[in-house]
Amino acid sequence: MEKIICVCGHENPVGTKLCGKCGRPLTEEAKMSKIVDMKYDGAAIRSKTRNKSIVDKIWNFFSSVKVGISLIIINLIAASIGTIFPQEFYISVSTEPEKAAYYEKTYGSLGKLYYELGLSDVYSSWWFQILVGMLAISIIVASIDRGIPLHRSLKNQRVKRHESFMKRQRIIGEGSITEGDSSNTLNLVEEKMKKLRYKVRRDGNALLAERGRFSRYGPYINHVGLIIFLAAVMLRLVPGFYVDESMWVREGEMRAVPGMEGYFIENEKFILEMHDNQATENQELQGVNVVAKNYQTNAKLYKQTDDAVPGKDDDLELVKEYSIRVNHPLQHNGYSFYQMDFRLNEIKAMNFELTNKETGESLGAVSVDLTNPQNEYVIDDQTKVQLLGYYPDFSGFENGEPQTKTPTPNNPAFIFKMTTPEKPEGEVSFVAIQQTIEPNGDNAYKMAFNSVETRNMSGLTVHKDSSIPFLAIGGAIFMIGVAIGSYWNHRRLWVEQLEDGSIRLAAHTNKNWFGIKKDIDAVTEFAHLPKYIDQSENDDAEKEKEGDSTL
């Protein structure tokens, strides 16, 4: 590999700005400048060293700060587009045409366009994920590209730096000491800097005092946190890591829990309670009459024994009994059951009276339990009602056969055969809500509708997110990195005693020049050092922005 050989004899990789050993400027640019660029301490950024193979080209693309910032901006724009209208996730319709209709109806033609462009589900779109992925690559590559050379150059810092390095620092000073014995000066500097909690190293007539070096790692720690965070989000896609399923359970029903193998949930009761106050002024303004006080599902969670196969439900053991309320999900093994929806008053049983049409006299009551209809309902030895057919959601006849369009009892219909002492051969009647058909002509009896029994239904979601601890760790590391990079700074002071006993000093900090000047003021007074100057202040142009060069 090509090397740049410094005057001092040290070999530096191509792209190095300041010699890794003595600090002499190596590039023309660095030689010309009055104050050297101390980013990465002058080490060669890896991507700047070679640019040949395709791998290098891709690498260099992602390590570029310009590309990184562009990616951040593109990601921000894409993410904010997703907040213009609610995402599909928050809309309570399930099928595609319903969604399309919803966006058009609610938000007009803009909404339609929004849906058609796929912006209604932007965070799951492939291009958004690729954008986030590219940002992640950029963060990782840039961190490796810059972090490793920086780490190396910080670790291998020489105490003694060349005059040309020292003179190009922002804070410099040169001259003889103001009073006392010059042979003791470096000892005094060391003593004071140690008191100021600097780490001091000496090499012959040179001294390096350094403090807060770890703050240079802040941005990289921050990046590590960010990557853990993104990885945790990605982990959600791994089966079993993230479960978000919904289910309906009627009162009295037991259902297998989707996404939670071997578990069953039973809904014992759904309770909806309302406040019984008079409508307040605000309520009236909002057109609200009653306000819910409590939504509650009394649920029982069962588990199958481990070796059991699905379907054999005679060996279930009760795991937990819990009243699911708002903010009080049933929790077990990292799974939470939340109550998301409910439906009231689904028909559970229908009560009829076997009635003589002419006299209105009842021969007895028949109650059909829709969860378990029977073949016949016996009233006495001469009177019985046979159930020939049951259609939970009657939708009309096809070839003379009654049809049901769903398994839900929204519009229950029955075919009864009524056997009475008067009509021992039986009379057939088709009974639906507000509809009776008597296929064999005029019947003497009818099944008079009396009352219904209803039950409620709870809409539950099963939720599990094992990525939360990783998200928390990633977030914490991120914040620690931000804090380290923001509240600490890397201060260095180089002092060299020249042969004639005079002192040359230079100082650098990545931020907070005020702070380092205070330290140098103290040591100047203590060790009687020559007065220093701030070269950038003399320029009268505060070019360096505070907090700009955190890397």
Partner 1 sequence: MDKKKKRSITRGAILVVLLAAIVYTVYSSATNDKVKVLQVGDKAPDFELVDLYESGLNHRLSDYEGKGVFLNFWGTWCEPCKKEMPAMSRQYATYKDQGVEVLTVNIAQTEFEVKKFLESLDVHFPAVIDDTKVVMTAYNINPLPTTILINPEGRVEKIITGEMSEAQIASYMESIKPEQE
Cα separation, 160 vs 264, whole angstroms = 73
| Backbone φ and ψ of 156, nearest 5° | -100, 30
Among 9, 126, 276, 282, binds partner 1 (CB under 8 A): 126
Query: Per CB under 8 A, which of residues 310..329 are in contact with partner 1?
Result: 310-313
Q: Is 252 in the site for partner 1 (CB under 8 A)?
A: no
Query: How far, in Å, are 215, 227, 367, 509, 549 from residue 480 at the CA level?
Result: 11, 14, 68, 21, 19
Q: Is 137 in the site for partner 1 (CB under 8 A)?
A: yes
Three-state secondary structure string covering 408-421: CCCECEEEEEEECC
Among 32, 285, 309, 541, binds partner 1 (CB under 8 A): 309
Q: Is 457 in the site for partner 1 (CB under 8 A)?
A: no
187: CB partners within 8 A, 6+ apart: none
Among 69, 93, 117, 130, binds partner 1 (CB under 8 A): 130
- What region does 488 belong to: left with phi over 0, alpha with psi -120 to 50, or beta? beta
Q: Is 405 in the site for partner 1 (CB under 8 A)?
A: yes
x/- track of binding to partner 1 for residues 375-394 (CB under 8 A): x-----------xxxx-xx-
Among 129, 486, 536, 550, binds partner 1 (CB under 8 A): 129
* Residue whose CB is less far from partner 1, 84 or 231: 231
* Residue whose CB is less far from partner 1, 90 or 126: 126
- Taking the complex as a whole, the smallest distance from the CB of residue 235 to partner 1 amounts, in Å, to 10
Which amino acid is it at 443? Answer: N
Query: Per CB under 8 A, which of residues 264..283 are in contact with partner 1?
Result: 264
Three-state secondary structure string covering 55-85: HHHHHHHHHCHHHHHHHHHHHHHHHHHCCCC
Segment interacting with partner 1, rule: CB under 8 A, options 37-45, 216-224, 256-264, 479-487: 256-264
Among 67, 119, 134, 471, binds partner 1 (CB under 8 A): 134
* Residue whose CB is less far from partner 1, 289 or 372: 372
Q: Is 152 in the site for partner 1 (CB under 8 A)?
A: no
| 243: nearest Cα among 462, 467, 471 | 462
Q: Is 441 in the site for partner 1 (CB under 8 A)?
A: no
Cα separation, 424 vs 233, whole angstroms = 71
Among 71, 122, 141, 366, binds partner 1 (CB under 8 A): 141
- Taking the complex as a whole, the smallest distance from the CB of residue 151 to partner 1 amounts, in Å, to 16
Cα separation, 162 vs 151, whole angstroms = 21
Q: By CB under 8 A, how many residues form the interface with partner 1? A: 54
Q: Is 428 in the site for partner 1 (CB under 8 A)?
A: no
Among 39, 213, 255, 325, binds partner 1 (CB under 8 A): 255
- Taking the complex as a whole, the smallest distance from the CB of residue 190 to partner 1 amounts, in Å, to 39
Edge to edge, the sheet with strand 413-419 lists 376-380, 383-391, 413-419, 427-432, 435-437
The length of the chain is: 551
* Residue whose CB is less far from partner 1, 133 or 180: 133
Q: Is 371 in the site for partner 1 (CB under 8 A)?
A: yes
* Residue whose CB is less far from partner 1, 283 or 386: 386
* Residue whose CB is less far from partner 1, 72 or 326: 72
Long-range (24+ apart) CB contacts under 8 A made by 358-367 are 358/444, 362/448, 363/420, 363/445, 365/450, 366/447, 367/453
Q: Is 58 in the site for partner 1 (CB under 8 A)?
A: yes
Which H or E run includes 376?
strand 376-380
Among 185, 215, 267, 404, binds partner 1 (CB under 8 A): 404
393: CB partners within 8 A, 6+ apart: 404, 405, 406, 407, 408, 409, 410, 411, 412
Cα separation, 272 vs 293, whole angstroms = 8
- Taking the complex as a whole, the smallest distance from the CB of residue 118 to partner 1 amounts, in Å, to 12
CB neighbours (10 Å) of residue 190?
A: 19
| 197: nearest Cα among 486, 524, 512, 489 | 489
Segment interacting with partner 1, rule: CB under 8 A, options 32-40, 132-140, 204-212, 417-425: 132-140
Summarize as ranges the residues that interact with partner 1 (CB under 8 A). Answer: 1, 50, 53, 55-56, 58-59, 62, 124, 126, 129-130, 133-134, 136-137, 140-141, 144, 231, 234, 237-239, 254-258, 261, 264, 309-313, 370-375, 387-390, 392-393, 401, 403-407
